[in-house]
Amino acid sequence: MAASTSVSVAGFKGSLGKSSFNGGEDYAMLAAKSAPNVVRTGKPVRAQPMMKNVNEGKGVFAPLVVVTRQIVGKKRFNQLRGKAIALHSQVINEFCKAIGADGKQRQGLIRLAKKNGEKLGFLA
């Protein structure tokens, strides 16, 4: 036994921009009605992330590092610290070449040096 289905197209008005739903309202009008009314005033203000060291003030060399930062200024201090870290990484790289360590071992040594620097207070 087959069921019969009938479809009514009485609301069709022959225009592609019109819809038989909602009394023949235009699609753009419907989209405008459903869009939330949000007013943007510009770029959202984002708080700057604070990159603080969890070991700040800890370690044998932390007081020396903090005093040095206060004397030379933060910008110059970060430049010096960057140069020191780069130099130390070069020493580790040369050491790894000398003993024949692969890249994974080299990365492990660099991570270990960073952890030791944090513990000693060099990164305070």
Q: What is the pLDDT of residue 50?
A: 56
Q: Where are the domains of the chain?
A: 61-120
Closest to 89 in 3D by CA, of 112, 73, 70: 112
Q: Is 58 helix (H, G, I), strand (E, B) or coil?
A: coil
Per-residue pLDDT for the chain (124 aa), expressed as one digit of tens each? 555 555 555 554 555 554 445 555 566 665 556 656 666 666 666 666 655 555 566 889 999 999 999 999 999 999 999 999 999 989 999 999 999 999 899 999 989 998 999 999 888 8
End-to-end CA distance of the chain: 84
The rounded distance, in Å, linking the Cα atoms of 124 and 122 is: 6
Q: Is 100 left (phi over 0), alpha (psi -120 to 50) or beta?
A: left
The two structure tokens encoding residue 71: 């004397």
